[in-house]
Chain A
Amino acid sequence: MSRYSAWAVFKNGLSGQKSWERAWRDPEPKTHYDIVIVGAGLHGLATAYYLAKNHGLKNIAVVEKGWLGGGNAGRNTTIVRSNYMMPGNRQFYEHSLELWEELSHELNYNVMFSQRSHVSLLHSPAARDAAARRYNTMRLTGSDGELWSLETLKSEIPHLNYDNARFPIIGAAVQKRAGSARHDAVAWGYARAADQLGVDILQNCEVTSVTRDADKATSIETSRGTIKADKIGFAVAGNTSRLWQMAGLGRLPIETHKLQAFVSEPLKPLLDQVVVFGVGGAHFYISQSDKGGMVFGGDLDWYKSYAQRGNLPIVQDVAECATSIMPCLGRVRLLRHWSGVMDMSMDGSAFICKTPINNLYLNAGWNYGGFKASPASGWYFADLIANDRPHDTIAHMDIKRFERGVMIDERGAGPDPKLHG
């Protein structure tokens, strides 16, 4: 398949844009693959790509019950950042951000990654102290981070609510290398790049059961027939517990909750950064897409749910947050909103690990943070599957950590999945 380039754009322009090849094949499932990844979301596609690219493996399939970009890949607010502090998370998310910085070149697909700064508003001296600690930790471990005074913030983002706010803004913690990307392009880019390396992407292929022979998973039953596999990886947000039970493995430290996101009608350029507001129970994040829509979101819907549709109290809550920090949005109309189902884990952190079944591997529990994590998640999950041992960076990201009493709880919220926002 040909590479995308300025020359290809020019050449296809001369033939009326009718000569473009399809971006990836639509193959029939084979009866056997060396490796099958369940879930063609960003994590599953990235895993397949890095298995082929970094480890030179062939005969890989990714099975997907719906279509590419139909799950959480297309149901997020596209924010990329690495302002995590806990040991382990720090290195992992930093690596992810480094992968993002080269991703468009790596995939030969413009994922529109825009390092436009991630600005967390601060509302109290205590919050500023906590942010100073976190962002200093980031600086000491090879990342970037800075604290903005109120004057700097006002000059950079003049239209936040600086007067008469319920929670007055006193400054901001900023990561300049953070930003946003176009989520569909990330799915399509990974799919195309993996396909070019020989990966079969099987859409409309829902897993209905997992066949086991003692401590080995031998095959999966799907809506497109039986597929045998030497190694199987699960990378399905939201439905991880169901697959886990299909494999006869019992319960997981995960609950499924839904998270809504919103986009407004397109506006002229208004907001150059990703802005985050979180104080006194409020939680809100907003950026402006390249098309002009304001993209924003807030908290979970607060009760366990597998339904990919949101409830109204959160619409109200998010709208209140929006108008309280950016009153100028008061008369902007909402274009659409959507809801995705999240694996909310017991400590708010993810799992990339081996399982009680020798040839089965787990990638799950991404909570709110799956989008930014997807390149590194695929990178380390591929490394785990290829080498059958966890890389040092993800050694702590296993489901056994609760037995050891070593939680990775960035928020300090305790073992209640809905609180790990």
Chain B
Amino acid sequence: MDKVREKIKTKGLLFNIEHFFDRYKVIISVVFAVVALSVPFIGLSRATMRLLVMIGLYSMLGMGLNLLVGYTGQVSLGHAGFYAIGAYVCALLQVDAGVNFWLALLIGGIVSGFVGFLLGLPTLRLSGTYLSIVTLGFCEVVQMILKQWESVTYGNYGVRNIPKPELFGFTFNQQNGGFYIIILVLAVLTALGCHFIKNSKTGRAFIAIKEDELAATMMGIKTSRYKILAFVLSAFITGIAGGFYSVINNGYIEPTNFTFNISILIMSVVIVGGLGTIRGMVFGATILMLFPEVFRFLNEWRFVIYGVLLVLMMQFRPQGALGWQSTLPYRLSKETKKLLEKKKAAAEDASRTK
């Protein structure tokens, strides 16, 4: 026990926690996978399963927005728009064109990504608050189109009778845990994707742009290209999440499912969890989805408390609940270590022959 205490003292508690997770990551991943996959079979209530699905969905939405806000530092208040585009494209393709869910989901993501590209263009000229206002406007425009373009979107009536996803004859629904499995897979894939992007030249370029755009330019980073890429990726992920949402909402969606409030909710997930982290998105989604459920007995008052909590959060922990910088050393890949050893050996040989 003393040994542990000594260790914590010298390196800090955070280091030890991170070190623990790093050291046993294989075991922890396996345990997580087993637990996560067995959840549908342990007889949880329908409400709990729905809650878990929503947590997964908002983790994914958070990760999508985080790519943009957390990495490149471009604040978007229009993600409900991308969410709506993904949902409507996916739903309409299934209902009106009879396209298979999985294909429709992908097309929804791609269409959303393309719109992200178009919206990304003004970001070359705008930043900060101005950009946020443009994205806010985008969100309202999408809302208006959904309501007014009745011949395609069914207007306020909404899209109805959206079929449940199927795969090899198995129908995914809420009861059999199918929705849960889909979002689990989607969220894990998104997390892996974000992790890989972050630890590559693309992710470093994103973060460099956030930290100091001029310096990034002077390092040869084509900043406009990367800013648009961030928009496209973020919109793609959000669009996919929207497509998934269109099938879990009792078979129908309407414009009010995608109001500005949803943009704010996604932003809250990112901020509460911790800008620029993936773990934070899962945490933020969990807190924000649990909150209204746990405090249901407070009725309307829960929203007041929710607001107060957000304000306190901003005041005392602006980096987000889990928004710390890693205390572990920079991770060197196997290939890097091998190459380093090779170089070292070569240098020693050279000095010996001298």
Asked if A pairs with B, the answer is: no
